[in-house]
Amino acid sequence: MNTKYEKIFQSFTFPSGVEVKNRIMIAPMTTYSSQDNGELSEQELAYYKERSGGVGAFITACAYVSLDGKGFPGQFSVDDDIFIPGLNKLAKTIQSNGTKAILQIYHGGRQSPPTLLPDHQPISPSAIAAEREGSPVPREMTEVEIQNTIKAFGEATRRAIEAGFDGVEIHGANTYLLQQFFSPHSNRREDRWGGTLEKRMQFPLAVVDSVKRAVAEHAKTPFIIGYRISPEEGTNPGITLEDTLQFVEKLADQAIDYLHISVMHFWNGSFREKNESHSRIIKIYEKVGSRVPIVGVGSLHTPDEVIGALETGVPLIALGRELLMEPKWIEKVEAGQEDHIRTTLSKNDQKELVIPDLLWERLVNVKGWLPVEE
């Protein structure tokens, strides 16, 4: 290994006490490849196995905590105890060579396609459609539904513990339900769950509390709790970076293990405030990084780029597309073979890369997502 990459391979201990063997996590990526009933498929398990072992931790694709929150075709479920045996297979698959397994849990809210829902009706904090063509108008959630959803995140965490995972990541990013409660665009409520910035924080904070209570009650060994957040929204009204800086102060008070900042590029500044060019990840790190570990992500393809990000003080880096194209990214860096890391996707590589059929179709057909060679 080239000595300049040694920092990548330093171990890290989360506040909970869980230790990972290096600073690289695999970012959560949807596979579209589970069974219609929410069970994991053998193709998915093979995909996870191929990418495990080298990295310190693997964050799974998001699993829905209740049927009214399913957001993708081919998405797996954590909404019932019947799924625990399959989830246990997934946890063991990831952990087989020392990688920590983190289950991402979420609810799609108004982003859930009606065709995937039992009553064909998405729900959200308010009856406001997303600003994209063809978006359905969701039904405003009742107090009972809000409480049931908070409880569902706790129950999902219990199942993750019983399935043998090392932690959960609460998905509060990418315009899904937790972000919808925080957003002034999707949350127009006038009760205790909406209105002021502080009230819009209450639902995600209640979910964090539900997850923490489940861990305290059911986990017999240290267990990771992470939270993924998108720092801004493009809608008007929408979440601003200043909103997020106030929110992460609250999240840092929750004694969680990390904040995962969901952006397309680690170094990019605000897209809402054009004169704010300072990296949003760095701004959040400077605000709360001394109180909660920050996970950076976004267009860091090479080990040199990862080292540049780690040298800012951000302790952990998540890689996504890089591990789709190069499952052995970390192993090749460790072996001094960084020049052999794949940086493009060939249409002939599906079998070698162990990518499920439905995910492969999207990777090679969605323009701009990955550099695909003909």
| Domains within the chain, CATH numbers bracketed | 3-338+353-362 (3.20.20.70)
pLDDT at 61 (0 to 100): 98
Burial 291-313 (b: 16+ CB within 10 A, else e): ebbbbbbbebbebeebbebbebe
pTM of the shown model: 0.98
Report the C-alpha dihedral over residues 15, 20, 24, 27, rounded to 10 degrees: -70
> Given pLDDT bands bounded at 50, 70 and 90, which one contains residue 172?
very high
pLDDT at 155 (0 to 100): 98
> Given pLDDT bands bounded at 50, 70 and 90, which one contains residue 149?
very high
Is the pLDDT assigned to residue 374 strictly greater than 80? no
Look up residue 70 and give its two tokens: 């399913």
Look up residue 30 and give its two tokens: 């949807």
* Catalytic annotation, residues: 176
pLDDT by residue (tens digit) across 104-125? 999 999 999 999 999 999 999 9
pLDDT at 275 (0 to 100): 85
> Given pLDDT bands bounded at 50, 70 and 90, which one contains residue 367?
confident
Is the pLDDT assigned to residue 373 strictly greater than 90? no
pLDDT by residue (tens digit) across 48-63? 999 999 999 999 999 9
The distance from CA 374 to its chain's CA centroid, rounded to whole angstroms, is 31
**Three-state secondary structure call for residue 210:** helix
Q: How far is CA 311 from CA 6, 63, 195, 308, 317, in A?
A: 12, 33, 39, 5, 11
pLDDT by residue (tens digit) across 206-221? 999 999 999 999 999 9
pLDDT by residue (tens digit) across 219-266? 999 999 999 999 999 999 999 999 999 999 999 999 999 999 999 999
